[in-house]
Chain A
Amino acid sequence: MADVTFIVDGKTLTAPAGTLLIEACKSHGIEIPAFCYYPGLSLQAACRMCVVRIEKQPKLATACTTTVAEGMNVTTESPEIAQARKATLQLLLGNHPLDCPVCDAGGECELQDMTFKYGAADSFYAEPKNHRDEQKWSPVVYFDRPRCILCYRCVRMCGEGMDIFALGVQNRGSSSVIAPNIPAQLSGVVENGTELAQLDCEQCGMCIDACPVGALTSGTYRYKTRPWEMNHTATVCTHCGDGCKTTLGVRSVSDGSEIVRGDNRDKSGMNGDFLCNKGRYAFDFANNIERLTSPLIRKDGKLTPVSWDEALTFAGNKLRDLRQDRGPNSIGVIGSNRTTNEENYLLQKFARTVIGTNNIDHHRTADFVTLATSLQGATGRFASQHDVEKSPAILLVGGDPTNQAPLTAWNIRTNVRHNNARIYIANHEGIKLRRQAKAFVQVAPFGYGAFIESLKADNDFAKSLHAEEQLVVVVGNELRGGELASLIKALPHAKFALLADYANSRGASDMGLLPDVLPGYQSLAGSTIANEYAAADTPGLDLLAMFDAAAAGNLSALYVVGSNPVKRYGIDAVTLKSTFLIVQDLFLTETAALADVVFPAANLYEKSGSVTNSYGDLQLVSKAADKAGTRSDFELIVRLAGHMGHDLKTLVPFGKGLRSDMGQSRGAQSGEADRHSVWMTANNLEPKTSPFDPFAILDEIQRLVPGYDKLLRLQLLSGNDQHISPSASGLVQITTSRKDLVLPSADTLFTSGSLTRYSPMLQDVQRHQSTEVADHLASAD
């Protein structure tokens, strides 16, 4: 819309016509106080804090509902306005319990801030305040009614934002109250003889985030600490493939530092306002007392704590010996969906160059190889998470983002609400997002092939899709291999994204945790990486084949990092009886329990690096917490290589002069110079001094992995996401017979693979929601 010019506090400003005054002011650095106004949610004009004086209007006007108009003359601060706001605060504080010293929101409370600003602290009411006991609505949501200022943010967040509508406003006048959807007398939940009203919802906690005061508090955080006693680190959530940023509040404890809170207060991530149940609360596995904190070696059939040196020496020697005696191809390596890109890259490089085998794989949750190969050479056809938020049209084929990829679902809903985006859905189930869909096609179970065929036919659904000029196609894990390829072929103008299950599922694929392709889906022979690695050019064993080999007695050793294949794939313990098994994990999982050596590992919240979400959006992972007795997977891989006697400089490019000391005089093109330091110089980077610095390997990733070469360090370090498209051509050709080996994790909003059972919160919430989710208790990754 055309810009209009108007005056605020004597300054001449411009903004597009139709902009709300409160937003126009904000974008010019003029802050107008507000409780009920919340960007992106419907307008309320209820709190009356945003009142301003507009010339020629008889009354003070609410900036939250006024749209800017040409020539408008606005005053946002004056004695009259300050008095109006002060009076409003005084009225609120009359009933508000001044229990700030024990309130979770103390220090982060908008009411406190405004009282501080407008000086309304003097309460002149003689009457007692209306006291009500705090209510527990779910394991994670508590409600303190007297603290509620009735801004209705939570109600709108739940209804408009989440499409759940589990919160309502009941009664009226000063008896008005926010109420959850299950009234006390129907909940069947009794505590201390009182029936409790309950929340039947997705337990996302968005209501808590939206609450400007301490009326809604988090079951996992309440009364634990004060906001200013925590350190806050923004990092990426470990749980699903969407890539939400979660800000972890951490405090020191005797054995490291403990995470006490997760939220997205700074809203700086690609998730904006959003965070789901897992992102907000399910960090608690990290504090679980069952965490492994000492290396273990099997002695007399029992896993026994030993020193790091003993464990590493034992494992290193053993691996070296087995490689020598039985050949590198007798050894297998399995990586993780939750470790960083740097760790994944390092692990496959370890397999390929330290051990010398392509026997490397991971639990695949989407067929990224087909995506990459189908789109190779094309530009701009890999959709990013932002596209889902902005694109005018989205086709969702398979998948159920509401349960599997909550941010994707949020973005789709937001896009519909704000931009009237057109959503098309083809699914074998009537998923919830259907409520937002313009058109829905019911697909028969396993009938996606037929659906793809129907896109070529003359029907309304196909016609509308072909007519969409900017179509983003989000594909669930039902489609892979040939089917996925033909879907991509059928919609040649669209952008694509695959939904995958964990924080770095995409990164695991991109980094080459695959037996038949190198990082960036490069060929085993002939590609730049292949040349540099000088490793075997025959495909290795995939994950299932490794276990087949083990069963046949042909797998001498298996190195498993951050994965629980024994549980996930139902592997019989006997299978591994003649295989030397090294497992690196947080807990004594089913796989770790069979190991000969176990290394206690740090989790994603305890390390630095980067991860790539399902869409290929790469983000920085920052170390928030610390657990004594654990080490990062990165360090463990490097140390293991060291104990195998490997020259670490060839594994991790640290220090000066890696490959040759011919200097740069003969030029980078000669092929003999130190390619790494030439690249670093060209990119104004200093060599890393430690082999444990993930950035040393990131340098190499950037240098060698197509797509990742476009990374901007400054963007990464500022915490911004960057979209990666593995856009190289000449990738491995898929043959129809290629096994995709995708095994969807079947996680829901309240499960996260093997971590589920180590998260008391997830357990609690599952019991709270018992009927719906009980089936999924068993899943593991």
Chain B
Amino acid sequence: MTPAVIAQIEPIATPEIEWFAVSPLLVLVGGALVLLTAAALARSRPPRGFYALFTVVTAALAVACSALLWQRVTDPGRGPFTAIGGAITIDGFSVFFAVTITAAIALGALLADDYLRREGLDGPELYVLMLLSGTGGVVMAMANDLIVVFLGLETLSIALYVMAGLHLRRLESQESAIKYFVLGSFSSAFLLYGIALVYGATGSTNFGAIAGFLSGNVLASNGLLLAGFALLLVGLGFKVAAVPFHVWTPDVYQGAPTPVTAFMASASKAAGFAALLRVFVSTFDVYRLDWRPLMWGLAVLSLLVGSFLAVVQSDVKRMLAYSSISHAGFILVGAEAASDRGIAGALFYLLAYTFMVVGSFGVATLVGGRGDADHGLSAYRGLSRRRPLLALAFTVLLLAQAGVPLTSGFLAKFYVIGAAVEADSYALALIAMLSAVVAAFVYLRITVAMYMGDETEGAEAVTRPAVRVPPGAALALGVAVAFTIVVGILPSPVVDFARDAVPVLLSAP
């Protein structure tokens, strides 16, 4: 083409970008790029812990940006708004998840610091990937468009595939990466197909437009739309590890480097739920009668399968993997209620769960020892005598996961079950409570092993290497335990945070 021809083409209309709205994303991506570039250009190795510190600082900056955004969206004069041509929504919901996911990044980085040195893998890559993956998660939470959801999901996932396989010398790590990648692509295809079907049925991928269309029109035949629901649910159900799309979870959680598992179980699950809640509970609200039974089914299956299978495991990482499936079931109980209270309950649960699960996998990181291999229950026998504080921290986190009062875990379960009861889902509430009892067995089993198990018990009376507790991991554990207890006693700030973070539907301007 000649320059003259080019000049005749109308410039593509680019949407105006409000940089402030995407500032948490910019900080995370910017941090990742700076870290990668600086590490590549630096001639000497940076001081110990530099990467982790950098990541934590970046995360803190992102939280600061989120706090500014929170001020803006909760200001009655201004309120929530859309940005980038209606592609993303900035409301309490997006900010809530930005904070949750960023917290997971910071805690994950603290855990990774010593782990990478211990395993001889030290380098900036894991941190960079964690920041980028987290960015994808925040994009999913901010998305106001199905395509943007997909974009965020892929950013999140692809980084995670690499992170899962980061432990080069461990076969299980490689295996988990491949499994995660294959099954993740498989589920992405479902999600994409679901998006296409919903677009076909409603004529838009924008949430505001879809909701407006659904409430303004009665579809003569809604088969297309409902098939779209089903496929979207497959894709998102995979991400949050809901049964029957959970099959990858135990293998991948077990095989991936433990700090990565911690991040995966917290940030990735949170991002998946962000999309699930926004797409179904908020956007497809009109069709709640159609999707609620499915959500019910997924919740019940996740609760039961998660807790039942956790009981028969002997590997602590696998136990925690199944327990995370049953936690997904609990959060689905909140989603199934399809009410503001249900969403607020689910949000509270996710935030509380993030700290509990990162802390728990943090303990597994330390106890696992060199080679990240020692995750059998026997490794925990007598831990209370070798490392009383570590055992105490793990006990608190496990009890919180079991839902013992005065921990955040109790209130999390209380709020979602309360929402289910309010929505008249009595059966679901009952099943949730019963499955909590079954799951409690798992947590108590680990606790009992730590406190009552004799180290010399069993066939292998091997002398175990001492469990080291490096400062970074100690900090992460301390934060996780403190959060769990403080929120368990003084829940109201977090409850208010979750209540104000219920998503709003905004159309493109």
A complexed with B: no
